[in-house]
Structure 1
Amino acid sequence: MTRTSVSTHILDTSVGRPAQGVPVGLSVRSGADTPWAAHGASKTDEDGRCKDLPALPSGTTHAQLNFAVGGDFFPEVTVAFAVRPGEHYHVPLLLNPFGYSVYRGS
Structure 2
Amino acid sequence: MSTLSTHVLDAVRGAPATGIAVALHGGGPEELDSGVTATDGRIGALGAELVAGTYRLVFDTGAYFAGLRIESFYPEISITFIVTEDRHYHIPLLLSPFAFSTYRGS
Q: TM-score, normalised by structure 1?
A: 0.85
Contact 1:28–1:56 (8 Å) recurs in 2: no
1:45-93: per-residue Cα shift (whole Å, max 9, x none)?
A: 00000113123443x4111100001142111100001111412110000
Question: Alignment partner for residue 23 of structure 1, among 17, 21, 24?
Answer: 21
Aligned residue in 2 for 1:78: 78
Gaps of at least 5 residues in structure 1 are 30-34
Give yes or no for the alignment of 1:14 onto 2:7.
no
Aligned residue in 2 for 1:62: 54
Greater share of residues in helix = 2
Query: RMSD across aligned C-alpha pairs, in angstroms?
Result: 1.4
SS at match of 1:7: strand
**Code of the aligned partner of 1:19:** A
Contact 1:26–1:63 (8 Å) recurs in 2: yes
Q: Measured at CA, do residues 54 and 17 of structure 1 come closer, stay the same or move farther in structure 2, by a change above 3 Å? A: same
Q: How many residues were matched structurally?
A: 98
- Aligned mates of 1:85, 1:91 — CA distance in 2: 15
Gaps of at least 5 residues in structure 2 are 66-71
